[in-house]
Amino acid sequence: MGPQETLLASTGPVEAGAVGKTAAEAELQAAPQDAPGLVQPMEAAQFDALSARIMAVMNTVIDGKEEQVRLALTVLLAGGHLLLEDVPGVGKTLLAKSLARTVHCTVNRIQFTPDLLPSDITGVSIFNQSTQSFEFRPGAIFANIVIGDEINRASAKTQSALLESMAEHQVSVDGRTYSLAAPFMVIATQNPLEMEGTYPLPEAQRDRFMARISLGYPDTDAELSMLETHQSVNPLDSVSSVATADQVNAMIATVAAIHVAPAVRAYTVALGQATRTNPDLLLGASPRALLQLLRAAKAAAALAGRGFVLPDDIRELAVPVLAHRLLVERGAATRGATAASVIAELLATVPVPGQPDGRAVKDARFR
């Protein structure tokens, strides 16, 4: 049985059946997601086997994009949100759907359009004539995984409807607060800003996304394979769920237990501070950005079979986690500077610490 998926058009109704919860589930979701002892970490062997299975299934759908698939799973296990930015037709939505389908959970899809309303996303209170009271009808945000297609085709007001839910895993409507499911992840796709009919995401919205991925065009072998296998068959038809929502929650708890040495934390802070003082940048990395960089690095360490974060984890994730949050000064941009190139320069100049301290033992992530 596959995950439950709902397509929400700008004029279509919100289906609330996908978000029905038992009393026990409601109690679980009302608690903070990072509450200690709420979810137990997973055993090392099970974590490694399950993560490998998820990536293997996704790689059968997305040919030749192993690095992007791994990064998408990294964001999920770090408890973050993912922004997929590229030209139309390269597989952004396919990647989002393949990740969603590997997990047996509720999935909603929102097609962002200029006339989409914030209430279509968050939900709305409707007066029931028979009971003479208001009833809350949940919006599309009430799901474990929410796929937002072409997010930058909606107005800034509609885009901002995602802010609270992405940051706090809750929605406030008409003075009442509703907790969202766990795990909770927003996977948004967007076209480059030079495309017609797009609205730039505001800085606060971009900062909510843990990482941004660009898929790029496939190489020759991958494109030939796609033309051979995907002509008459939808590649998603062969995708089956390999993990439950509870298992993903346990994997997220496992990642949270990964050890970070003081030297690695200091390196992360030094890198962030370097972005704030760089003359080529108008806006550097926020404290939230550094926190999410560290969380992503912990997930990368867990996927590599380590119980501790290395400086290399920070370095490898610096561009996908930080670049979309930075604003390049106009003069520097005319000289060809980009956020990614500035980060590359900083990685070459900020001193790298030595190996983690002696607390980083083999199974530190499972203690």
90 pLDDT band, cuts 50/70/90, is: confident
- The residue segments making up the domain with residue 352 are 258-366
Q: What pLDDT is recorded for position 219?
A: 84
Q: Which residues contact 367 (CB under 8 A, 6 or more apart)?
A: 257
- Read off the tokens for 138: 């949940």
Judge whether residue 59 has pLDDT over 80.
yes
18 with 138, same domain: the answer is: yes
**Quick one: 206 and 126 in the same domain?**
yes
Q: Which helix (H) or strand (E) holds 68?
A: helix 66-77
Q: How many domains does the chain have?
A: 2
Q: Are residues 18 and 148 in the same domain?
A: yes
- Is residue 163 very low, low, confident or very high in pLDDT (cuts 50, 70, 90)? confident
Banded model confidence at residue 344, pLDDT cuts 50, 70, 90: very high
Question: Domain holding 337: CATH number?
Answer: 1.10.8.80
Q: What is the mean pLDDT of residues 353-362?
A: 47
175 burial (CB, 10 Å; 0-12 / 13-18 / 19+) is exposed
Q: pTM (2 decimals)? A: 0.83
Q: What is the distance between the alpha carbons of residues 204 and 182, in angstroms, rounded to a whole number?
A: 23
DSSP letter assigned to residue 144: S
Let me know whether 233 and 342 are in one domain: no
CB 309 within 8 A of CB 224: no
For residue 6, pLDDT over 80 is answered with no
Rounded mean pLDDT, 166-184: 91
**Is residue 163 domain-shared with residue 279, that is, in the same domain?**
no
Last residue of a domain, one of 225, 253, 281: 253
CATH of the domain at 12: 3.40.50.300
Mean predicted confidence (pLDDT) in 122-128 = 89
Q: Indicate the pairing of strand 327-328 with strand 281-283.
A: antiparallel
Are residues 306 and 244 part of one domain?
no
Question: What does the pLDDT read at residue 73?
Answer: 97
Tokens encoding 218 = 């496939």
**pLDDT for the residue 298:** 98
Q: Which residues, other chains included, contact 235 with Cβ-Cβ below 8 Å and sequence gap of 6+?
A: 60, 61, 94, 98, 229
Average pLDDT, the chain: 84
Q: C-alpha angle with apex 194: 192 to 200, nearest 5 degrees? A: 65
Tell me: do 248 and 302 sit in the same domain.
Answer: no
pLDDT level of residue 225 (50, 70, 90 thresholds): confident
Range among 56-60, 61-65, 125-129, 245-249 with highest mean pLDDT value: 245-249
User: Are residues 290 and 224 both part of a single domain?
Assistant: no
pLDDT of residue 197: 62
Of 69 and 26, the one with more pLDDT: 69
- Selected residue with higher pLDDT from 13 and 231: 231
Among 253, 271, 296, the domain boundary falls at 253
- Highest mean pLDDT among 60-64, 162-166, 185-189, 219-223 belongs to 185-189
Worst-scoring range by mean pLDDT, 17-31, 138-152, 342-356?
17-31
- Residue 141, phi then psi, degrees to nearest 5: -70, -15
Tell me, yes or no, whether 218 and 296 share the same domain.
no
Residue 26 has pLDDT above 70, yes or no: no
Query: Do 328 and 180 share a structural domain?
Result: no
| Same-domain check for residues 276 and 228 | no
Domain end point (choices 253, 279, 301): 253
For the chain, how big is the Rg over CA atoms in Å? 21
Per-residue pLDDT band for 224 (boundaries 50, 70, 90) equals confident
Residue of higher predicted confidence among 357 and 31: 357
* DSSP code of residue 214: -
Question: Which helix or strand (DSSP H or E) is residue 244 part of?
Answer: strand 243-244
User: Binning pLDDT at 50, 70 and 90, where does residue 33 land?
Assistant: very low
Indicate whether 70 and 165 sit together in one domain.
yes
Cα separation, 326 vs 212, in Å, equals 12
Give the pLDDT mean for 219-240: 80
